[in-house]
Amino acid sequence: MKSDPASASSQVKSSTPAAVHLQTIGPEEAGQRLDNYLLRWAKGVPKSHVYRIIRSGEVRVNKKRAEPTTRLIEGDIVRVPPIRVALPAQVAAASTAQTQSRARGYSDKMPILFEDEALLIVDKPAGLAVHGGSGIALGVIETLRITRPELKFLELVHRLDRDTSGVLLLAKKRSALVELHRQIREGQTDKRYYLLAHGEIKQGAAVMQLKFPLHKYLLANGERRVRVDPEGLPSHTALRVTKTMQRDGVAITLAEAQLKTGRTHQIRVHLQKLGHAILGDDKYGYEDQDKSIKSKRLYLHAHLAGFTHPRTGEKMRIESPLPAEFTAMMKNFD
């Protein structure tokens, strides 16, 4: 998917009129620190300025001075002095008919796998970033905020790489977000991916335990990369081979990867280190081999998410079917 033309400028020159703002804290904002609340509300305002107006007493909570660490309670009234909030390009773009049309198009390609009052779980297509950023005006979160304006709170629970498809969790309540983050942090979630890898992965045990330490770094152009490094952070992927296929002496492997940790590009780098890079991986893969078998995408798909529902306590198991590109590629090797 190409970069969104609506993102040509990184900053909108106009800004919102400066005025005193009185914000009433609702249930979704309750429990946040004052500084974190203001940093989120006043996007585009330098962090140093936000802390200055708090410490100077210009920000008041229930007409009283407050510290940056003050915890907000539902019903609190926060007074914010006049500040100009610059609008990021993707926020301003949301008001244009063209962007709204584009968002509807993206939404139509993103089936809802589960939704209730606390959660929204979608099947993210490959090629769509989870959030806007450099060169991208619309990601999943911007798309859903435009197409679902009735949702007063919506945040990503976790992330998927732009070229990875599959199950993506979003929270519609702050309490749900906090609880799911706790489950992820304490290793109480189950995230599994299907992948197609180059070559025949010969598996001695039922499950291979890949524990290569990973180090994140930047290329000269600022692009993010990850490599296996003894000084890197510990990481753990459990890999189970499902099927191997061959055609004209060329082999590929269908496998399931279960994340035990959630490092950046973890599965992709672990498979590269194993000597079996994922098909269509333009960062860690084999370009010549991808061209010869006509890889159309990164063949990595988040097919299952298991967790405990943050409201009901029910054990959840959300699954996404194998994409058509996977089955088409495997048919070429049958």
Average pLDDT along the chain, 334 residues, taken 10 residues at a time: 41 50 78 85 80 92 92 88 61 67 92 97 96 78 92 91 97 92 94 97 87 94 92 96 93 97 95 97 96 95 98 97 96 87
pLDDT tens, residue by residue, 93-119 = 555 788 889 899 999 999 999 999 999
Q: What is the pLDDT of residue 12?
A: 37
Reply yes or no on domain 19-86 having CATH 3.10.290.10: yes
Q: What is the pTM of this model?
A: 0.76
Nearest to 160 by CA among 287, 90, 237, 262: 262
Strands 190-198 and 208-210: unpaired
Q: What is the pLDDT of residue 11?
A: 39
Q: Where are the alpha helices (DSSP H) in 135-229?
A: 140-147, 174-185
- Level-2 CATH architecture, domain 189-331: 2-Layer Sandwich (3.30)
Q: What is the pLDDT of residue 24?
A: 84
Distance between CA atoms of 135 and 2, rounded to whole angstroms?
9
Reply yes or no on domain 90-180 having CATH 3.40.1280.10: no
Cβ distance 304 to 167 under 8 Å?
Answer: yes
Delimit the CATH 3.30.2350.10 region(s) of the chain. Answer: 90-180, 189-331
Q: Which of 76, 161, 163, 290 is catalytic?
A: 161
Delimit the CATH 3.10.290.10 region(s) of the chain. Answer: 19-86
161 is catalytic: yes
Distance between CA atoms of 169 and 10, rounded to whole angstroms?
28
Distance between CA atoms of 126 and 163, rounded to whole angstroms?
5
Which DSSP string corresponds to 144-156? HHHH-TT-S--EE
3-state secondary structure of 167: strand
Q: What is the pLDDT of residue 40?
A: 79
